Amino acid sequence: EDKVVQSPLSLVVHEGDTVTLNCSYEVTNFRSLLWYKQEKKAPTFLFMLTSSGIEKKSGRLSSILDKKELFSILNITATQTGDSAIYLCAEYGNKLVFGAGTILRVKS
């Protein structure tokens, strides 16, 4: 059965720190890997990764996929309190499978 594992489960950092969130997956018929940020309720889309080794970047956030080792990382540099959220990784193969998420708390 397809599986997505995220680590760490939770993380507390100070403003200005850099964080790396991990996502590993086991899947049949891989199509893409997606990262979401969830604050309060609705997850908002961050990145979709389909190719290995190509970094996607949006402001202070970046993400990369390794299809050989079956993992992805999400980096956030110069963290701000507004980055506090649950970060969800999802893998799309035959269906969309979510990990349990990483709870990030950024303290001022």
Of 12, 22, 19, which Cα lies nearest the Cα of 88?
Answer: 22
Q: Is the CB of 78 or the CB of 100 nearer to other proteins?
A: 100
CB of 16 to other proteins, least distance (A): 29
| Distances 16 to 11, 75, 90 between C-alpha atoms, Å | 14, 13, 27
* 30 touches other proteins by CB under 8 A: no
Q: 34-73: which residues touch other proteins (CB under 8 A)?
A: 34, 36, 40-45, 48
HSE, side-chain direction, 13 A CA sphere, residue 71: 11
User: Which stretch in 15-23, 52-60, 68-76, 89-97 sits in contact with other proteins by CB under 8 A?
Assistant: 89-97
Q: State which of residues 90, 91, 104, 106 lies at the interface with other proteins (CB under 8 A).
A: 90
How many CB atoms are closer than 10 A to CB 1? Answer: 6
HSE, side-chain direction, 13 A CA sphere, residue 51: 4
Site residues, other proteins (CB under 8 A): 4, 31-32, 34, 36, 40-45, 48, 88, 90, 92, 95-101
